[in-house]
Chains A and B, each alone.
Chain A
Amino acid sequence: MLTVENIEVVFNSYVLVLKGLSLQVRSGAITALLGTNGAGKTTTLKAISGLLGTEDGEVTRGRITYGGEDITHMAADRRVAAGLMQVMEGRRIFQDLTVEENLRIGGYLERDGRKIASRRELAYDYFPRLRERRNQIAGFLSGGEQQMLAIGRALMSGPQVVMLDEPSMGLSPVLVQEVCDIVLRLNREQGLTILLVEQNARFALAVADYGYVLEDGKVVLEGAARDLRHDQNVQEFYLGAGANDRGRFSSVKWYRRKKRWV
C-alpha cells in the first residue's frame, strides 16, 4: 500500500541522510522501523509525510508511492487528505490550545461536522482520560496524556495509515504497555495500517507484524517481527540479551564493539 523505493534524502543540499532506503508497509499491518539515533528513522517518516521541506531536506532520488500514486513531492496537506498521518516525535501537541481544540485541529481538513463529532467520540472512547480533561490547556497534561492526545488528534483526520514516531519516548513502563495496547487495538478494531518507529525494540517487536532495522540511512535487516525477535544481532544490540561474554566485551574498545553487521 505504501512503498518507499530506494530513496535518498539530502539535508541542506549536501548532508546525505538516507542512502537508498526501501521499505514496504502492507495494508492493515503494523510495520516497525528500528534503529539507533541518527539511523534515519524519523527522516524516513518525514519523507513519507512530506515534512522535510521545513528542515531544508529533500528527496533527491527514488520514489514513494501510496495506493499506486507517486507522492514523493506532494504537498504535506494533500498527503494528510489522502490518509497519511504522522504522529511526530516528542508528541508535538499544541500546548496553548485545549485538548478539544487540539482534536479539532487534527480534523482540520474534514469539513463534515458529523464526521468530526463521531471521530472525536472515537478518540475519547479510546482515551477516556482525554474526555475528562477536554477543556484543559494541553500543555498541562502529563506526558502520557499528551501522547494519548497526539494519537487521538491523528485519528481525527480519519487516516488510513498512521505513522507513530517514538510513541514510547519518556513514558514509564506502565504507560508504554498502555500505548502498546492502544496501538494494537487501533490496528485490530479500526483496521489502521501502522508504521511504528521505535528505539524501544521490545515494545516495537511485541506489536509489529514486520520489522526493518535501519542503520546509517539504509535497511540492514528486515523480516517478520517473530523472526527478528530471535535474530541474534537484534537480540544483542536492541533487546539487551546475548552479550553474555562480559570478559571479552570489556577487552574490546567500546566504539569498536558498536554494532555493525558488515
Chain B
Amino acid sequence: MSWSSLLSLIVNGVVVGSVYSMVALGFVVIYKTTRVINFAQGELLLVGAYVCFALTVSYQLPFWVSFLMTGVFCGTLGYIIERVVLRRVVGDPIVSVIMITLGLSIVLRAIVGAVFGVNSQVIPSPIPDGAIMVGGVPVSYQYLFSMAFSLVAMIAFGAFFRWTRLGLAMRATATDQQAAMAMGIDVGRIFAVSWAIACVVSAVGGVLLATISGVNLGVSHFGLKVFPAVILGGLDSIVGAAVGGVLIGVIENVADGMFKSLLDIDGFRDVAAFALLVVVLMVRPYGLFGQRAIERI
C-alpha cells in the first residue's frame, strides 16, 4: 500500500471520526450527569441531519440559518425528551432506563422515516469546492471545515464545563447528585439541560455528516459506533470522547483499507472498532482517559 493512499485513508478516517466525536460527546454529557446510557444517540444525529436538510432544501433557507434553527430545534427536543420520558424513570433500575432509550431510538427512527422518507439525502454544503494538498493527497475544503468545526465545538464544550457556572453545576451533579441538591442546584433542570446539549452536538454531527456524504436512515448506526469511541476514551471524559471518536474513525478506515488491499477481505470496517475496543478494555478497563475513582489510603 502506498504512502499516499494510507494518508488519504487517515484523512477520511479523521473526518468520519470527527462526526463520531460529536455523537460521543453527546453520549458522554448524558452519561456523566444523569448516568443514563443513551442508545438513541445515533437517532438524535439522524433527526438533526434531516431537520437541517428539510430547512435548507425544502424551505430554501440559507445553510447557516437552518443550521442554527436545527440547533435550537434539537436542543428543545432533547429538553422535552428528558422532561417527558426520562424524568419518569429517574432512579429506576438500569435495565428499564436502557429499554426506554432503546424504545426512544426506534420511535425517533420511525418518525424520521415517516416524515422525511427513507431516501438518502445530501445537504448542499456552504463550503466551496476545492482542495489543498497535504503530503501529496488532496484534502477538500469540506473535510477541513468539518474537522475544524468539530475541534472548535470540542474546545467550546471543554471551556463550558470548566469555567461556566452551569457547566460546573453539571460536573458537580455528575459527581454527587444529592450533595449537588444540597447546594441548591436544581438537579432536574441540570438533567434536562444535559439532554438538550447532547441533542445539539449530535445534531451538529449529523449536519456535518449530511454535507459530506449524505444521510439515510441507516446512519443511525453511528450511535453504535459511539460505544467503542466512548469506552476507548472513558465513559466520563469529554476529551476522551473527542479523541476516542477520531481514533475509531481513523482505525476503522485504515484497517478496512489494509484488509482490502493486502488480504482481499472486505467489510472489516465495522469489526475493527470493536476489536480494538476489546483490546483496550483488557489493558485499561476504565478507558484511555476515564477517571479512576479517587481513593485515599
Contacts and interface: CB of A to CB of B under 8 A. Distances in A.
Partners in one complex: yes
B130 interface: no
Interface in A75-132: 75-77, 80-81, 85-86, 88, 92-97, 101, 104-106, 108-109
Contact of B184 (A54, A77, A93, A96): A77
B33 to A, nearest CB: 13
Interface string B156-195: 0000000001001101101111111111111000000000
A106 B291 CA distance: 23
Contacts of B165: 104, 108
Contacts, number: 78
Nearest to B165: A108
Nearest to A80: B184
Contact of B182 (A49, A96, A140): A49
A88 B168 CA distance: 20
A139 B296 contact: yes
Contacts of B182: 49, 51, 76, 80, 85-86, 88, 92
Interface in B180-237: 180-186
A137 interface: yes
Interface residues of A, number: 31
B169 A105 contact: yes
A157 B182 CA distance: 11
Contacts of A142: 296
Nearest to A76: B181
A96 B180 contact: no
A81 B165 CA distance: 16
B115 interface: no
A218 interface: no
Most buried by A among B169, B180, B182, B186: B182
Interface residues of B, number: 22
A153 interface: yes
Contacts of B291: 96
B175 A95 contact: yes
Nearest to A92: B179
B152 to A, nearest CB: 24
Nearest to A143: B296
B294 A137 contact: yes
A106 B183 contact: yes
Contacts of B181: 51, 54, 76-77
A109 B169 CA distance: 10
A94 B184 contact: no
Contact of A96 (B169, B177, B186, B294): B294
Contact of A139 (B168, B179, B186, B294): B294
A95 B184 CA distance: 18
Contacts of A88: 178-179, 182
A77 B185 CA distance: 6
Most buried by B among A54, A93, A108, A142: A108
Contacts of A97: 168, 171-172, 175
A105 B186 contact: no
Interface string A34-67: 0000000000000001010010100000000000
Most buried by A among B168, B169, B172: B172
A97 B165 CA distance: 13
Given A54-B177, A54-B178, A137-B294, A96 B171 contact: yes
Nearest to A110: B184
A12 to B, nearest CB: 12
A51 B178 CA distance: 7
Contacts of A101: 168, 171
A152 B291 CA distance: 26
Given A49-B182, A77-B185, A80-B183, A105 B294 contact: no
A109 B171 contact: no
A108 B169 contact: yes
B296 A108 contact: no
Given A54-B177, A95-B294, A108 B171 contact: no
Given A88-B179, A96-B175, 11 more contacts: A49-B182, A54-B177, A80-B184, A92-B176, A94-B172, A94-B180, A95-B175, A97-B168, A108-B184, A109-B184, A139-B296
Rank and list the top 7 A-B pairs by shortest CB-CB distance, nearest first: A80-B184, A139-B294, A92-B179, A109-B184, A77-B184, A94-B175, A105-B172
Interface of A: 49, 51, 54, 56, 75-77, 80-81, 85-86, 88, 92-97, 101, 104-106, 108-109, 137, 139-140, 142-143, 153, 157
11 contacts: A51-B181, A54-B181, A88-B179, A97-B175, A104-B165, A105-B172, A105-B185, A108-B169, A108-B185, A140-B294, A157-B184
